[in-house]
Structure 1
Amino acid sequence: MTVAIRQIGLCFAGEVDGVDIRRPLTSDEAVAIHAGMDRYAVLVFRNQDIDDAQQLAFTQGLGDIEHAIGSSLRAPSEYRLPTTFADVSNLDKDNTPYARDDRRRLFAIGNRLWHSDSSFKVTPAKYSLLHAVSLPSKGGDTQFADMRAAYDALDEETKDLVEGMVCEHSQIYSRQLIGFFDLTDEERERFAPVRQCMVRVHPVTGRKSLYLSSHAGGIVGWPVPEARGFLRDLIEHATQREFVYTHKWRLGDLVMWDNRQTMHRARPFPANEPRDMRRTTLAGDGPTAEQASAAVH
């Protein structure tokens, strides 16, 4: 069956037909999916009755994966899934929802802020693929913001200002925004800030996008209060209704997004209900500063 994609968001996001994730990807399907990601930035695959092995095989058919190591407060002895998956559920290793005051749950509430996956790593993520295994009775939507459209809508003065700008990203910054300060010395060292370019150029389309995230807590060369005020204004601009697609999950959905071109956030849901979401992640191509340098030359 031929891969077909129809737009479902206001200015981006597409729903895919003609792909059965239970089967190995053909080369033509992989090419079509990458082309769809270049155009739509978010792709939705409905009714995918798959297991973890099939999700992982599908992801690896598109590129090299990023392992989920050291990016949450789960200790290795508490992992529910192998490191080929990022466990973004609210469940402990016994598949029980975390207590409301569990620090692992409180840390994960930071995912309700607008962010880009792994922007706090030296080499940030390329694609994220999230599969809905179990859902709460209400809430838990995921919203996506098109950072290409957000860049295009900037005035020329602001475009000039952000060109060449470098930001510092850390999960310490994003968790401070929600009042979470309960980090050990080891965790603070692990989440030390990394530098990312503010403007990214897509390697295929050449289109520019803002690279924003709640993890961004500083701008190199700027006083912190001024930087954080500017970043807050930019995120407010980038998440206006006309730039946002809201995904209302159904069981079996697999949603795939390009972290280079979008931000996203999870929405609240009942704390005592399970929300089992399993994410595989495609690794990025390298530090964004190196990519920017290569684009110039």
Structure 2
Amino acid sequence: MEIKPKNPDSEFVAEVNGVDLTRPLSDDEFATIDASFKRYAVLVFPGQPLTDEQQLAFSKRFGALETAPNYAGKKLRLRNEFTDISNLDHQGRVLDPSDRLTKYNLGNQLWHTDSSFKATRSKCSLLSAREVPPSGGETQYADMRAAYDALPEERKRELDGLVAEHSIATSRKKSGFSEFNENIATQLPPVPQRLVDHYPDSGRSSLYLASHASHIIGWPVEKGRALLEELMEFATQERFVYTHDWAVGDLVVWDNRCTMHRGRPYDLAQRRVLHRTTVSDTETPFDRPTVVRA
């Protein structure tokens, strides 16, 4: 197995070759992959033509899988262990740009972290490219550990202990979508998330940001939103960002606890089909404060 950084300046993205994810991995093989995941945060596996069952089997090596609620209230194409990152309806036809599901999916073009709006956050996501358009549709990743490291020490002290409120409704409102399945508000109420966390696996601290973040708890709403916008702009500077240009058979695994990502626009008349599995973060203890300083 060969694992090397995608480019000399990248400290958070590595390409993995010399392994076949279509077959069961030995414990030693997975241990090598897991160690690299903890070091880099984003792993690119080219040339992996996975079936859904093979993707599920590899994903489960990282932990327990999330299931995806039916956010938009439309009939879905995939089973609920997957999130369908595509422009297809449940019969495999290209969606109309005005379709409710298309409008919901536009929120994926905002910088975000998968499942930050859930009480149990996501450890990682695994995205498998099945069909890609001839141009556009890239995915960008931002390194939240490097962004935190680059902050002035005074700013780091200011952020210590701050907690933001996250919800799926916040991000979709920003992209103009409000037609949620009527059960979503009950299933996924807003949750608190620390703005900065430390991760023992890597020994590093990270910003925890997303378009799902609404405001800072305990602060005036506008003041908190201004801080979140400032940090989002800082953390997505070009020096912290990697852009992945998809090829069929690519599998990308990323750590949702210390990265953000966003999809880029493409011609919605062209088929783009990627299947995502998401692993819950059940292994990292998070003692979230209930009282925050003003």
Q: 1:163-192, CA deviations, whole angstroms, 9 ceiling, x for partnerless residues?
A: 111111011111122232334653334442
Q: Pairwise mapping of residues 246-261 of structure 1 onto structure 2 (< 5 A)?
A: 246-261=243-258
TM-score normalised to structure 1 length: 0.92
Q: 1:202-233, CA deviations, whole angstroms, 9 ceiling, x for partnerless residues?
A: 12122000000000001110111111111011
Instruction: Look up the match of 1:99.
Output: 96
Q: Relative to 1, partners in 2 of residues 1:183 and 1:59: Cα closer, same or farther, differing over 3 Å?
A: closer
Q: Pairwise mapping of residues 121-200 of structure 1 onto structure 2 (< 5 A)?
A: 121-183=118-180, 185-200=182-197
Aligned-partner residue type, residue 179 of structure 2: D
Q: How many residues align?
A: 288
Aligned-partner residue type, residue 69 of structure 1: P
Q: Percent identity?
A: 47
Instruction: Look up the match of 2:2.
Output: 4
Q: Relative to 1, partners in 2 of residues 1:289 and 1:219: Cα closer, same or farther, differing over 3 Å?
A: farther
Q: Pairwise mapping of residues 211-226 of structure 1 onto structure 2 (< 5 A)?
A: 211-226=208-223
Q: Could you tell me whether the CA contact under 8 Å between 2:127 and 2:275 is conserved in 1?
A: yes
Q: Relative to 1, partners in 2 of residues 1:184 and 1:133: Cα closer, same or farther, differing over 3 Å?
A: closer
More helix by share: 1
Work out the CA distance in 2 between the residues paired with 1:235 and 1:273.
30
Instruction: Look up the match of 2:57.
Output: 57
RMSD of aligned residue pairs (Cα, Å): 1.8
Q: Relative to 1, partners in 2 of residues 1:239 and 1:161: Cα closer, same or farther, differing over 3 Å?
A: same
Work out the CA distance in 2 between the residues paired with 1:22 and 1:187.
35
Work out the CA distance in 1 between the residues paired with 2:53 and 2:224.
43
TM-score normalised to structure 2 length: 0.93
Q: Relative to 1, partners in 2 of residues 1:96 and 1:261: Cα closer, same or farther, differing over 3 Å?
A: same
Do structure 1's residue 234 and structure 2's residue 235 form an aligned pair? no
Q: Relative to 1, partners in 2 of residues 1:292 and 1:129: Cα closer, same or farther, differing over 3 Å?
A: farther
Shift of 1:291: 6.8
Q: 1:21-70, CA deviations, whole angstroms, 9 ceiling, x for partnerless residues?
A: 01101111111111111111100000112211111111112322112224
Aligned-partner residue type, residue 276 of structure 2: R
Q: 1:104-131, CA deviations, whole angstroms, 9 ceiling, x for partnerless residues?
A: 1111100000000000110111010000
Q: Which consecutive unaligned segments of at least 5 residues does structure 1 have?
A: none
Aligned-partner residue type, residue 283 of structure 1: S
Q: Pairwise mapping of residues 67-78 of structure 1 onto structure 2 (< 5 A)?
A: 67-70=67-70, 72-75=71-74, 78=75
Q: Relative to 1, partners in 2 of residues 1:57 and 1:240: Cα closer, same or farther, differing over 3 Å?
A: same
Q: Which consecutive unaligned segments of at least 5 residues does structure 2 have?
A: none
Q: Relative to 1, partners in 2 of residues 1:181 and 1:248: Cα closer, same or farther, differing over 3 Å?
A: same
Runs of 4+ in 1 over 4 A off after TM superposition: 286-289
Q: Could you tell me whether the CA contact under 8 Å between 1:167 and 1:196 is conserved in 2?
A: yes
